[in-house]
Chains A and B, each alone.
Chain A
Amino acid sequence: MSELLLIVTIAGERVALPAAAVESVVELDTLIPVPRAAPHVAGLSALRSRVLTVIDCMRSLELGATDCSDGIREAAVVELDGHHYALIVDLVEDVVEAASEPAMVRAAMGPGWERVSKGMVETEEGPMLLIDIAALIAGAEAKAA
């Protein structure tokens, strides 16, 4: 049985998240900033009495910042090491089945993408970049450290 993938758009690019890791897709309204936190931590939000740490995927990839001023953003909720995170994405599209194991991308990618890439998977919608959620949450600073 092949892995299910959630297709989302980050910085205008369609990528795949492992669907098993995604608990739900929510629309964030309130966002409490966390002063002094790493830039890709957009803030905190609450979901059913749980605190979500909101990650701005575009900043994590160093591809600019998501504009949160207009209020409601779509986000994928994931759990990592007991903490819940909301990953802000441009758009959540669909769930598809992976048609292959992740393979190495041999062409050069942008540095941000390179860091979070788990390889390329074939889907019925063509090849997709599979994203490493932990690397996405760790952000740009983790690599430098």
Chain B
Amino acid sequence: MDDLISEFIAECREMLEALGGEIVAWEASPDDRARLDSIFRFVHTVKGNCGFFDFPRLEALSHAAEDALAEVRAGRRHPDPVLVSAVLAIIDRIAEMIAALDAGEEWPAGDDSALIHALQERAEVPAAPVAATVAEAQSKAVAPRTIRLSVELLDRLMSGVSDMVLARNECARRLRETTGDVAVDGAFERLSTIIAEMRDAITRTRMQRIENLFVALPRMVRDLSAELGKQVLVDIEGGDVELDREMIEMIRDPLTHIIRNSVDHGIETPPERLKAGKREIGLLSVSARQSGNQILIDIQDDGRGINGNKLVEKAIAAGVMEKSEVANLTPREQLALIFEAGLSTAKQVTAISGRGVGMDVVRSNIERIGGVVEVDSTLGQGTRMTLRVPLTLTIIPALTVSVAGQNFAIPRSAIDEIVRANGESVTLEKLGGAGVATIRGRRVPEIALSDVLGLKSDIPEHERSLVVLRPAGADVYALAVDRIHDHEELVVKPAAPAVMATGLYAGTTLADDGSPILLFDPAGIAQVGGVKLEAHERASRIADAPAAAAVDDTPVLLFRGLDGARRAMRLAVVDRIEEVPADSIRPGAGKLRVQLGETILPLAGVNGDLPGDKVRLFRLNDGAREIGYAFREVVDLSILGADLIPATSPGEISAVTLVSGEPAEVVDPHWLFANFATPAGGASELICRLPTDDPWMQNMLRPIVEAAGYRVVSDSDEVEADLAILSEASDKDAAAARTIRLRSDPDPASDKDETIYRYDRAALLMALKSAGAGGR
């Protein structure tokens, strides 16, 4: 009897899992007979079995649902949202009961009559928010023939095969020692191949379609969006990608969390979306694909995006970062702040997300399984989160290293490069006891593995090898090890809690000779070794600047222009980097100008669309004048090489060259200042005296005079003027080197009249020019 019940539970669970998506899809297209049938089949199965096992409550529930669905099947009832919600509620209750049954607990107390009654209601209510699966769910393939196996049995098979591999290796060693018999060798080769194939096959039994993870998503999004009054369409792709069974469990929570965040904070309410010129229904697409030995899971929404500046403000407020660090953050680094603990941009804390715990947990969970989370967001257009996780938890390509005679493994995915400590491009220095390695001009913190582990290494420091590790996607450090051994594919198993408590290890594995090897967690080593990972990248950028300037090379700032092109700007002309609101950039006097506090500077570099919110710009200074140069993001600080390919015609770009291995356009600051900067004021300026009591002069003439390079003073100012402009009628004598008199009559009064008609622009400009030239 117990066997039958457990069989029943297993069957129900399997059907329940598949069903969540079906029901939501059915709601979206109520006429879809196939979906209706599969839901009907489920409740029917439950009902049938319940009668047999004597579970009256389950039976009553499933019976009611079956009745309602039968009416729909017969066409007597339309599947409105009320009905769908009621059916969902019943299926939820059934799931609860089955879970309790499985755990051997008492059934959750309660009365089901409310649920059953809900089925009978045919209230007319406004349509509930719609969530639907498109794409794959439309055409579900026929399931392959399967049998149910216990995981324990699979694990036994797996360890049996591992043993077999070890025995084969042992055998191979013995065979090599004895004299070779070709026939024996041949037979052994065959055995080897078969064992390898078997190992592959057994490994594959641990794989599961990621669909198992995805089927629950439409249902979850539907419930969430209903709760929040939003409309969300879910698009799921790549459900047939296979992933290690344990891996699927490990990414379930992070994925759920990201999706909840997207629906809660990302996607706007329908009125907000309409106002922003978007479709009422938000789109959330979840896709999985395999790339090499990684699985990439993209979660993309078309919601409001993440505001990097707000994150930065929060980070400062929460004390995660110093104000001084913030200025140099690239937009990507700003967005990455979302993974810092204690940050949440949501104004309100909601029940669904936004408590500031979560994204940091998401990242640490993903990193624990050797994965990476990336975030990309455009304000107002949406956010994309990418989870990169290794294909399998259990087989990890790794590098074996040794220190003090003991072997360890490092996951290869975290390794950036390997250099010898005494190599040409490497120098090691000690700063206050802390190690700093300079590898091809790049400063990275260096720690010795022997120090981290508290072991004594008898290899002198300069004979060690440095493994440059990049644990968290962006931050690097160098780990000094005694020896590098081999690349191996290791079958990794989780280590006991007492071992994991050190924070250094990601798991254990067995080497080919059968002895255990510890696999390192690169982030953990950095932490235990005292490397400040997050701070490092930001600090090194600032530290690099003076160091680079000392060398006889031209330091340049590598950046991306608004048009996306990679450009280089000589560092010396960049005064500082400013960030201004987009509305402080306005066209003025034929050029774009930007307001920076009290000053207005001409703005160059606007060759693409301005970002909607904030614009970052370089403030360039030639010693006397300033201009702004808008850009999208700073890429790096670099050195300008000697091999410049000059541009054929003068312009904003003076040359093209390779910077850090990629082509970049070198911006010509001379051209920029020649074309954008306004003539400088100061000591050399010309002064023109205009009567203050003449409104025409002040309003109409003054701009022309100023544009010609004069500083305008009033007739009472006690300065020596180069020029005075008076009206014909004025009888005053202006104190100035030269005087221009203007008349209001187009025709001169006589031939000797030296006055200029006040609207004769050409003559006016000529006079202004000659006065300027003659005055000096």
The answer to whether the Cβ of B44 comes within 8 Å of any Cβ in the partner chain is: no
Contacts of B501 in A (CB 8 A): 37-38
A32 with B453: CB separation less than 8 A: no
Contacts of A50 in B (CB 8 A): 159
Contacts of B166 in A (CB 8 A): 49
Report Cα–Cα, A33/B454, bound state, in Å. 12
* Segment of B248-256, B320-328, B490-498 in the binding face: B490-498
A46 with B455: CB separation less than 8 A: no
- Contact A35 B453, CB 8 Å, known A49-B159, A53-B495, A83-B496: yes
Contacts of B499 in A (CB 8 A): 34, 37, 41, 44, 53
B454 with A51: CB separation less than 8 A: no
A45 with B516: CB separation less than 8 A: yes
Report Cα–Cα, A33/B516, bound state, in Å. 10
- Contact A32 B518, CB 8 Å, known A49-B159, A49-B162: yes
- Contact A38 B510, CB 8 Å, known A49-B159, A49-B162, A50-B159: no
CB distance from B252 to the nearest CB of A (A): 19
Report Cα–Cα, A1/B497, bound state, in Å. 34
Contacts of B159 in A (CB 8 A): 48-50
Report Cα–Cα, A5/B641, bound state, in Å. 77
- Contact A49 B510, CB 8 Å, known A36-B454, A36-B528: yes
B455 with A49: CB separation less than 8 A: no
Chain A stretch 103-132: residues in CB contact (< 8 A) with chain B = none
The answer to whether the Cβ of B229 comes within 8 Å of any Cβ in the partner chain is: no
Contacts of B516 in A (CB 8 A): 32, 44-46, 51
A36 with B504: CB separation less than 8 A: yes
B495 with A48: CB separation less than 8 A: no
CB distance from A12 to the nearest CB of B (A): 25
- Contact A51 B493, CB 8 Å, known A35-B453, A35-B454, A36-B504: yes
The proximity string for B residues 506-519 relative to A, scoring 1 for CB distances below 8 Å and 0 otherwise, is 00111000111110
Report Cα–Cα, A34/B496, bound state, in Å. 11
Report Cα–Cα, A14/B508, bound state, in Å. 33
- Contact A33 B406, CB 8 Å, known A49-B162, A51-B510: yes
Chain A stretch 24-46: residues in CB contact (< 8 A) with chain B = 30, 32-38, 40-41, 44-46
Q: Report how many residues on chain B are interfacial, defined by Cβ distance under 8 Å.
A: 29
The proximity string for B residues 397-415 relative to A, scoring 1 for CB distances below 8 Å and 0 otherwise, is 0000000001000000000
Contacts of B504 in A (CB 8 A): 35-36
B163 with A44: CB separation less than 8 A: no
Q: For residue A82, which residue of chain B has the nearest CB?
A: B494
B497 with A34: CB separation less than 8 A: no
Question: In the complex, which of the residues A32, A46, A85 contacts B496, with contact meaning CB atoms closer than 8 Å?
Answer: A85
The answer to whether the Cβ of B699 comes within 8 Å of any Cβ in the partner chain is: no
Q: For residue A52, which residue of chain B has the nearest CB?
A: B516
The answer to whether the Cβ of B502 comes within 8 Å of any Cβ in the partner chain is: yes
CB distance from B449 to the nearest CB of A (A): 9
Contacts of A53 in B (CB 8 A): 495-496, 498-499
CB distance from A48 to the nearest CB of B (A): 6
Question: In the complex, which of the residues A40, A51, A81, A137 contacts B495, with contact meaning CB atoms closer than 8 Å?
Answer: A51
A44 with B518: CB separation less than 8 A: yes
Q: For residue B511, which residue of chain A has the nearest CB?
A: A46
Chain B stretch 698-742: residues in CB contact (< 8 A) with chain A = none
CB distance from A62 to the nearest CB of B (A): 15
CB distance from B348 to the nearest CB of A (A): 36
Report Cα–Cα, A48/B158, bound state, in Å. 12
Contacts of A137 in B (CB 8 A): 496, 498
The proximity string for B residues 463-480 relative to A, scoring 1 for CB distances below 8 Å and 0 otherwise, is 000000000000000000
The proximity string for A residues 57-101 relative to B, scoring 1 for CB distances below 8 Å and 0 otherwise, is 000000000000000000000000111010000000000000000
CB distance from A142 to the nearest CB of B (A): 9
CB distance from B448 to the nearest CB of A (A): 13
CB distance from A82 to the nearest CB of B (A): 8
Question: In the complex, which of the residues A38, A46, A55 contacts B515, with contact meaning CB atoms closer than 8 Å?
Answer: A46
Q: For residue B453, which residue of chain A has the nearest CB?
A: A35
CB distance from B678 to the nearest CB of A (A): 64
Contacts of B455 in A (CB 8 A): 35
- Contact A48 B163, CB 8 Å, known A35-B454, A83-B496, A85-B496: yes
CB distance from B384 to the nearest CB of A (A): 36
Question: In the complex, which of the residues B496, B514, B528 contacts A49, with contact meaning CB atoms closer than 8 Å?
Answer: B514
Contacts of B502 in A (CB 8 A): 34-38
CB distance from B392 to the nearest CB of A (A): 18
Contacts of B509 in A (CB 8 A): 51
Question: In the complex, which of the residues A32, A81, A82, A83 contacts B517, with contact meaning CB atoms closer than 8 Å?
Answer: A32
- Contact A38 B508, CB 8 Å, known A32-B515, A44-B516, A48-B163: no
Contacts of B528 in A (CB 8 A): 36
Report Cα–Cα, A35/B524, bound state, in Å. 13
Report Cα–Cα, A44/B499, bound state, in Å. 9
- Contact A46 B514, CB 8 Å, known A34-B499, A36-B454, A85-B496: yes
Report Cα–Cα, A73/B262, bound state, in Å. 56
Contacts of B518 in A (CB 8 A): 32, 34, 44
Report Cα–Cα, A49/B561, bound state, in Å. 57
Question: In the complex, which of the residues B163, B452, B498, B508 contacts A51, with contact meaning CB atoms closer than 8 Å?
Answer: B508
Report Cα–Cα, A83/B510, bound state, in Å. 15
Contacts of A36 in B (CB 8 A): 452-454, 502, 504, 528
CB distance from B414 to the nearest CB of A (A): 19
B163 with A30: CB separation less than 8 A: no
Q: For residue B502, which residue of chain A has the nearest CB?
A: A36
CB distance from A106 to the nearest CB of B (A): 32
Interface core residue of B494, B508, B516, B517 (most chain A CB under 10 Å): B516
Report Cα–Cα, A137/B497, bound state, in Å. 10
Contacts of A46 in B (CB 8 A): 510, 514-516
CB distance from B32 to the nearest CB of A (A): 43
Contacts of A55 in B (CB 8 A): 498
Report Cα–Cα, A90/B515, bound state, in Å. 24
CB distance from B517 to the nearest CB of A (A): 7
Contacts of B454 in A (CB 8 A): 35-36
Report Cα–Cα, A45/B517, bound state, in Å. 9
Report Cα–Cα, A51/B511, bound state, in Å. 11
A49 with B498: CB separation less than 8 A: no
Report Cα–Cα, A37/B517, bound state, in Å. 14
CB distance from B553 to the nearest CB of A (A): 43
Report Cα–Cα, A82/B155, bound state, in Å. 12
Chain B stretch 433-468: residues in CB contact (< 8 A) with chain A = 452-455
CB distance from A7 to the nearest CB of B (A): 25
Q: For residue A55, which residue of chain B has the nearest CB?
A: B498
Report Cα–Cα, A3/B508, bound state, in Å. 34
CB distance from A143 to the nearest CB of B (A): 14
Q: For residue A81, which residue of chain B has the nearest CB?
A: B497
CB distance from B549 to the nearest CB of A (A): 42
- Contact A44 B453, CB 8 Å, known A34-B502, A37-B502, A51-B516: no
- Contact A38 B495, CB 8 Å, known A46-B515, A49-B163: no
CB distance from A38 to the nearest CB of B (A): 6
Report Cα–Cα, A78/B160, bound state, in Å. 20
Interface residues of chain A, those whose CB is within 8 Å of chain B, are: 30, 32-38, 40-41, 44-46, 48-51, 53, 55, 81-83, 85, 137-139
Interface residues of chain B, those whose CB is within 8 Å of chain A, are: 159, 162-163, 166, 406, 452-455, 493-499, 501-502, 504-505, 508-510, 514-518, 528
Chain A to chain B contacts (Cβ below 8 Å), 8 pairs: A32-B406, A35-B455, A44-B516, A45-B516, A46-B515, A49-B166, A51-B495, A53-B496
Excluding A32-B406, A82-B494, A83-B495, 12 further A-B contacts by CB distance (< 8 Å) are: A35-B453, A35-B502, A36-B504, A38-B498, A40-B498, A44-B499, A44-B508, A49-B163, A50-B159, A51-B509, A81-B497, A137-B498
Closest 4 CB pairs of A and B: A35-B453, A53-B496, A44-B516, A83-B496
